[in-house]
Amino acid sequence: MTATPTINSDSASARQADVSNEIRAIESAYQRSGVEETQPRLDYAPYRSSVLRHPTKDLHHADPEGIELWTPCFGERDVHPLESDLTIQHAGAPIGERIVVTGRIVDGDGRPVRRQLVEIWQANAGGRYIHKRDQHPSPIDPNFTGVGRCLTDDDGNYRFTTIKPGPYPWKNHHNAWRPAHIHFSLFGTEFTQRMITQMYFPGDPLFALDPIYQSITDQKARDRLVATYDHDVTTHEWATGYRWDIVLTGSSRTPVDEGAEH
């Protein structure tokens, strides 16, 4: 072997090839098992930080009761409509590719999640977060914080204007890079539907190499995190558009309960 790259003292020792082999081994075992998975595994060693942070016992089944069947209410008091535009939070316009990300949020029965809070956060166009623990040598954009909020409309639609985030390096293993993504925090019509996830962009060359994305072992399930380019969302001489629809887990409340709210 020649030309071993210099490994910084803060880099993990594994190489991408080692991590990629682990990812492939887990995925082939999954494919042989024939049992469909739809969510990430909690125990997924290629993502090194998960090793000591996943429960070792199976999740315990609970029939939701009381507070679990309800969800916090957010309203105009909580979120200003301009918070959905991440490009107007500072004196100037941020650097990067202006995009609109929009979609519809439904529960597992296909019912729209109405007037509910959606929070997003992301890196800037250079892949840099405004966070003291992100110190990689890519510039902070003084015109971009990367945090937005909105409420869904009466049909469950959300819409953000932002900048396409860049990929960024992390320290899971040597030369590890995350595919570009936007973090989404979502509430449903009952608290059992609460979830946080990441939206990715179509065709990212880093998908196969990324242990967080690959912790979802099923390709169909992984595809559910990837937005679609939508020219009908793209606006003339202003922004390109992406659509990403979200399905939360099934709710236990009946449609009668739902109707009673209105």
Partner 1 sequence: MSTLLTATPGQTVGPFYGYALPFDRCDELVPPGSPGAIQFHGIVTDGEGNPVPDALLEIWQADADGGIPSATGSLRRDGWTFTGWGRAATDDAGHYSFSTVLPGSSTTGSAPFILVTVFARGLLNRLFTRAYPPGDQLANDPLLNSLPAHRRQTLIATQDATGLRFDIKLQAGDDETVFLSYPGHRP
Using CB under 8 A as the binding rule, the residues of this chain from 177 to 216 that contact partner 1 are 183, 185, 191-198, 212-213, 215-216
- Residues 117-176 close enough to bind partner 1 by CB under 8 A: 117, 119-121, 123, 129-131, 133-134, 145-147, 149
Shortest distance, CB of residue 92 to partner 1, whole angstroms?
20
66-101 burial: b if 16+ Cβ within 10 Å, else e: eeeeebeebeeeebeeebbebbeeeeeebebebbbb
3-class DSSP state of 213: helix
**Is residue 47 a contact point for partner 1 (CB under 8 A)?**
yes
3-state secondary structure of 21: helix
**Contacts (Cβ under 8 Å, ≥6 apart) of 118:** 105, 149, 150, 151, 152, 158, 184, 185, 186
The smaller minimum CB distance to partner 1, of residues 71 and 102, is found at: 71
Site for partner 1 in 215-244 (CB under 8 A): 215-216, 221-222, 224-225
Q: How far is the CB of 157 from partner 1 (least distance, A)?
A: 15
Binding of partner 1 by 81 (CB under 8 A): no
Q: Is 88 in the site for partner 1 (CB under 8 A)?
A: no
Judged by CB, which is closer to partner 1: 12, or 147? 147
What is the spatial distance between Cα 96 and Cα 78, in angstroms, rounded to a whole number? 29
β-strand partners of 105 = 246
Should residue 39 be labelled a site residue for partner 1 when binding is judged by CB under 8 A? yes
**Does residue number 84 form part of the binding site for partner 1 (CB under 8 A)?**
no
For residue 193, what are the CA distances in angstroms to 107, 188, 197?
8, 5, 12
Least distance to partner 1, CB of residue 63, Å = 7
Give the separation between CA 99 and CA 240, rounded to whole angstroms: 5
Residue 31: how many other CB atoms lie within 10 Å = 11
Task: With CA atoms as reference, report the closest residue to 147 among 90, 207, 187, 202.
Answer: 90
Q: How is residue 256 written in tokens?
A: 């009668």
User: Measured from the CB atom, is 10 or 76 closer to partner 1?
Assistant: 76
> How near is the Cβ of 238 to partner 1 at its closest, in Å?
25
User: Which of residues 70 and 238 has its CB atom nearest to partner 1 in the complex?
Assistant: 70
DSSP state of 221: H
Catalytic residues: 129, 168, 178, 181, 183
Binding-site size for partner 1 (CB under 8 A) equals 80
Question: Shortest gap between Cβ of 22 and partner 1 (angstroms)?
Answer: 15
Nearer to partner 1, 3 or 59 (CB): 59
Q: Which structure tokens are listed for 49?
A: 């930080």
